[in-house]
């Protein structure tokens, strides 16, 4: 590596695989790698230099979009728990870091930290396993619990009919709390639902408008909700009802983060570059993007990395199932969801595939009138 002898010594002594990557002829290219990377790749620097980075490194994460963001923001990007395949060997679970070099070039430093196999069953995986087990058990019990709750609610309502107004406070409390429990059980049942999505060609703007209308007459009535739609956005391949649930949950999350009012912006755009490995191993392009942007206080730092896990919530009395359900639905659609924070902004970005070419001919989507 060019630089002072100390810099070269540090480069050689790094215990994790490290690569210098730059754009050459429109693609990310390996410039140099350290000894740990040579061992990881089972190839020398001379063999790897000039090779397309993501042909030699198959990474099950939107690495190219992360690289573009690292360059644009001149800030490091972290990706946890990504499978990295280097050829014939099985994928290795790794944590990744992309960081721009401190010069005028567009060169990036890519660090790959393989996680030991034993580490996969560490605290994080144990928490995930416990959450999954709890969800499965709760899902099985939810229906049985809802039946007696319906009876309790009905009995309380009948009792209140024969009580004077001053004595109805307790029966009203029973009804309200029973309904709150039913809503929680509905979320548990939704999360535990293993049925695959019933996909068809879907106009994303139609679904977003349904979600926006529901928000402005309900949980988002205290917010200003604006849209910025790309009118030429092609259709996606999705279950429209499940996609509606995703956008409702994200808009509701943004609204609840600002109980005293604020602004939510819904943005759609088309951008190539983001690719993901599908559930069947195929490489998928995800060029359709939807952003839900709010100007609230942002995500609590202690949960920012785990917000899509079950039972993780930053709000008092939050169930921690809303964003977990969103993540589950998007994964079932071979899509990608991520959260991004900037000063004064929290952005949830959903990326989806195009509808297959074999589906009915696409027509231009007319964007609803700019708002609100």
* pLDDT value at residue 239: 92
Q: Are residues 279 and 232 in the same domain?
A: yes
Does the pLDDT at position 122 exceed 60?
no
- First-to-last CA distance in the chain? 55
Mean pLDDT value of segment 80-99: 82
| Same domain for 271 and 139 | no
Residues 162 and 213 in one domain: no
How far is residue 299's CA from residue 15's CA, in Å, rounded to a whole number? 32
Whether residue 361 lies inside any domain: the answer is no
H/E segment holding residue 265: strand 263-270
Mean pLDDT in residue range 82-94: 81
Last residue of a domain, which of 143, 176, 192? 192
Exposed / middle / buried, residue 332 (Cβ in 10 Å: 0-12, 13-18, 19+)? middle
Residue 360 counted as domain residue: no
Rounded CA separation 247/290 (Å): 9
pLDDT at 294 over 70: yes
Cβ–Cβ < 8 Å for 77, 98 = yes
Q: Do 132 and 226 reside in the same domain of the chain?
A: no
- Looking at per-residue pLDDT, the higher value among 134 and 87 belongs to 87
How far is Cα 64 from Cα 273, in angstroms, rounded to an integer? 6
Q: Please give the pLDDT value at position 30.
A: 93
Structure confidence at residue 233 as a pLDDT band (50, 70, 90):
very high
Averaged pLDDT of the chain: 79
What are the φ/ψ torsions at residue 224 (nearest 5 degrees)? -95, 120
Look up residue 174 and give its two tokens: 């029973």
Residues in CB range of 85: below 8 A, 6 or more apart: 57, 58, 59, 60, 91, 92
Nearest to 299 by CA among 248, 336, 349, 340: 340
* The domain boundary residue, chosen from 84, 119, 154: 119
Share of the chain above pLDDT 70, in %: 76
One domain, residues 28 and 132: no
Within 10 angstroms of residue 369's Cβ, the number of other Cβ atoms is 8
Same domain? 239 vs 329:
yes
Q: CB-based contacts of 6: which residues, under 8 Å, 6+ apart?
A: none
89 and 208 within one domain: no
How far apart CA 327 and CA 61 sit, in angstroms, is 15
Residue of 26, 21, 30 lying closest to 273 (CA atoms): 26
* Dihedral in degrees, nearest 10, Cα atoms 89, 91, 92, 97: 120
Contact between residue 188 and residue 142 where contact means Cβ atoms under 8 Å apart: yes
| 35 and 159 within one domain | no
Q: Residue 234: helix, strand or coil by DSSP?
A: coil
Closest C-alpha to 67, from 50, 52, 88: 52
Place of tokens 């004077």: 164
Q: 310 vs 111, which has greater pLDDT?
A: 111
pLDDT digits (tens, 9 = 90+) for 234-264: 999 999 988 998 999 999 989 988 888 999 9
- Identify which has the larger pLDDT, 243 or 149: 243
Do 143 and 80 belong to one domain? Answer: no
The model's pTM is: 0.54
Most confident of 72-86, 149-163, 196-210: 196-210
Element holding 329 (H helix, E strand): helix 322-332
Is there a domain that residue 369 lies in?
no
Q: What is the pLDDT of residue 212?
A: 93
Task: Examine residue 307 and state whether it is found in any structural domain, yes or no.
Answer: yes
Count of domains observed in the chain: 3
Structural domain containing residue 65: 5-119
Q: Which DSSP symbol is given to 181?
A: H
CA 259, CA 317: separation in Å to the nearest integer? 15
31: left (phi over 0), alpha (psi -120 to 50) or beta: alpha
Same structural domain, 303 and 268:
yes
Out of 15-24, 111-120, 332-341, 345-354, pick the least confident.
111-120
CATH number of domain containing 66 = 3.30.450.20
* Whole-number percent of the chain with pLDDT over 90: 24
Q: Note whether 340 and 252 are same-domain residues.
A: yes
Mark whether 75 and 165 lie in a shared domain: no
How far apart are the C-alpha atoms of 10 and 333, rounded to whole Å? Answer: 43
| Confidence check: pLDDT of 63 > 80 | yes
Structure tokens at 168: 């109805």
In DSSP notation, 34-94 reads: -HHHHHHHTS-HHHHTTSBHHHHSEESS-HHHHHHHHHHHTS-EEEEEEEEE-SSSPPEEE
Q: Please check the confidence at residue 207 and state whether its pLDDT lies above 60.
A: yes
Separation of alpha carbons 308 and 320, rounded Å: 8
Of the residues 143, 174, 192, the one at which a domain ends: 192
- Nearest Cα neighbor of 28 from 46, 49, 53, 11 is 53
């Amino acid at each position: 590596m060019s630089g002072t002898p100390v810099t070269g010594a540090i480069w050689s002594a790094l215990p994790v695989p490290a690569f210098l990557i730059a754009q050459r002829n429109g693609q990310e290219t390996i410039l140099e790698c350290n000894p740990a990377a040579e061992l990881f790749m089972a190839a020398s620097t001379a063999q790897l230099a000039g090779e397309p980075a993501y042909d030699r490194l198959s990474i099950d994460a939107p690495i190219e979009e992360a690289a573009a963001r690292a360059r644009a923001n001149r800030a490091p990007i972290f990706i946890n728990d990504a499978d990295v395949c280097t050829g014939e060997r099985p994928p290795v679970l790794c944590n990744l870091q992309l960081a721009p070099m401190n010069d005028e070039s567009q060169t990036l430093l890519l660090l790959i930290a393989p996680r030991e196999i034993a580490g996969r069953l560490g605290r994080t995986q144990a928490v995930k396993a416990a959450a999954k087990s709890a969800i499965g058990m709760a899902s099985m019990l939810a229906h049985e619990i809802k039946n007696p709750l319906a009876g309790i609610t009905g009995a309380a309502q009948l009792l209140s009919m024969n009580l004077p107004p001053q004595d109805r406070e307790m029966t009203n409390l029973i009804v309200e709390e029973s309904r709150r429990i039913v809503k929680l059980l509905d979320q548990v049942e939704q999360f535990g639902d293993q049925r695959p999505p019933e996909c068809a060609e879907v106009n994303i703007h139609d679904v977003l408008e349904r979600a926006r209308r529901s928000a402005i007459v309900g949980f988002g009535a205290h917010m200003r909700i604006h849209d910025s739609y790309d009118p030429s956005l092609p259709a996606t391949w999705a279950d429209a009802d499940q996609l509606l649930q995703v956008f409702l949950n994200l808009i509701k999350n943004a609204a609840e983060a600002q109980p005293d009012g604020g602004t939510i912006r819904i943005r759609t755009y088309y951008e190539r570059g983001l690719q993901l490995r599908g559930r069947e191993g195929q490489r998928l392009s995800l060029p359709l993007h939807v952003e839900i942007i709010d100007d609230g206080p942002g995500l609590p730092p202690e949960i920012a990395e785990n917000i899509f896990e079950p039972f993780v919530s930053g709000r008092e009395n939050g169930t921690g199932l809303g964003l977990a359900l969103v993540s589950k639905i998007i994964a079932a659609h071979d899509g990608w969801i991520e959260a991004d924070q900037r000063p004064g902004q929290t952005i949830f970005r959903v990326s989806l595939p195009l509808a297959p070419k074999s589906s009915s001919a696409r027509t231009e989507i007319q964007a609803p009138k700019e708002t609100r």
